Homo-oligomer: A and B are copies of this chain.
Amino acid sequence: MMMNDIVLVGFGGHAKSVADCIEREGKYHIVGYTDMREADSRYSYLGTDDELHTIFGGGVKNAAIGIGYMGKGAVRQHLYATLKQIGFYLPVITDPSAIVSNTAVVGEGTFIGKCAVINAEASIGKMAIINTKALIEHECVVDDFSHVAVGAVLCGQVKVGEGAFIGANSTVIQCRQIESNAIVPAGATIR
């Protein structure tokens, strides 16, 4: 398989998880990362986001956003707009251990971490994070820019609005609706 180059945009802890999945997936070669400053990273620092035009011009057409923390949803939306304007393609990053049903759909730029499961007829928007071991059950709808944190469980037919944050190991029972930009705390159960 030919490997395509990809740049990580923003480098924090989440980026280490994303980079690990990119390497395990084996579809893209990480050329480095941009950020406001150099970070603790095994990858090359390529400068601030002002360099993204130059990076794209140099032949790197793929980007992945490495910022995942709660409360930074607006940053992710802004970065997405910037990257699209330049022309970048934001592939879905799926760890090989994740399971995505053949009848599920997943939007552009979404990250699906290790051992995450997206079950039958679920629909995931663009630029979402379905983090490590998260479970999206049958017929769930998760809107753009949402972040389903590690180990969170969405039962069947749950709807998650745009930009919502579903906390670590929390539970949303079947058919419930989480509003846009809502935050479900870690460990909580939404009945």
Residue of B nearest to A122 (CB): B16
| A150–B133 CB distance below 8 A | no
| B20–A101 CB distance below 8 A | yes
List 15 extra interface pairs beyond A20-B102, A168-B171, CB under 8 A. Answer: A14-B138, A16-B120, A17-B119, A17-B156, A20-B119, A115-B117, A117-B133, A133-B135, A151-B171, A155-B186, A167-B173, A173-B186, A185-B189, A186-B191, A187-B191
Q: Please, how many angstroms separate the alpha-carbon atoms of A174 and B68 in the complex?
A: 12
A138-191 interface with B by 8 A CB criterion = 138-139, 149-151, 153, 155-157, 167-171, 173-174, 185-189, 191
Chain A positions 79 through 109: 1 when the CB is less than 8 Å from some CB of chain B, otherwise 0? 0000000000000000001010111000000
Within the complex, the shortest CB–CB distance from A135 to chain B, in Å, comes to 5
Residue of B nearest to A173 (CB): B186
| A103–B171 CB distance below 8 A | no
| A156–B120 CB distance below 8 A | no
Specify which chain B residues have a CB less than 8 angstroms from the CB of A17 in the assembled complex: 119-120, 137-138, 156
Within the complex, the shortest CB–CB distance from A173 to chain B, in Å, comes to 5
Provide 9 A-B residue pairs closer than 8 Å at the C-beta atoms, listed in order of the A residue: A20-B119, A20-B120, A42-B103, A117-B133, A150-B155, A151-B151, A173-B186, A186-B189, A188-B189
| A150–B132 CB distance below 8 A | no
A49 interfacial by beta-carbon distance below 8 Å: no
Within the complex, the shortest CB–CB distance from A152 to chain B, in Å, comes to 9
| B171–A153 CB distance below 8 A | no
A26 interfacial by beta-carbon distance below 8 Å: no
Chain A positions 114 through 142: 1 when the CB is less than 8 Å from some CB of chain B, otherwise 0? 11010111000000000011010111000
Within the complex, the shortest CB–CB distance from A52 to chain B, in Å, comes to 24
Residue of B nearest to A21 (CB): B120
Within the complex, the shortest CB–CB distance from A71 to chain B, in Å, comes to 12
